[in-house]
Structure 1
């Protein structure tokens, strides 16, 4: 079980941890459970995605199915992740 393994890491170390998770899962032939708020990172690592909403299972499927899911709550989550990823590419931000 991986509970927020990349929280607080810089992009280089985030990528290293993500590669480690993929490699260990493949080499050890084990199922891993990844808990994360990093949508894009999670979609890159996992072959199945589950989204909980209010304690109930809102979505379960593959990363492409998650991205294409018409459910408005799922889409809001996907769109927010895309917006945050774009914001991370901006060098000068003032909040």
Structure 2
């Protein structure tokens, strides 16, 4: 399941799957015999959907909005900084 998730379209899911794979490899290398159950990671819905070949998973509105904001925010900062630089140069030249 985690090997499949390493090719997921979302970078966060790929990263989490890779971390789980590394932790399982470490368990094998260290010959760990007893482990406590893992805490909830927030990726359970992705994992369940991939067990069923990706069928049935629909991102929530919060996930969609959050990803849009994460993608747009750096561009907004860049554009606003350019506007402030241009305004600064214009004001500096006028004096």
Under a length normalisation based on structure 1, what TM-score does the superposition of the two structures give?
0.32
Under a length normalisation based on structure 2, what TM-score does the superposition of the two structures give?
0.32
Give the greater-gyration-radius structure (CA).
2
Q: Which has the higher helix share?
A: 2
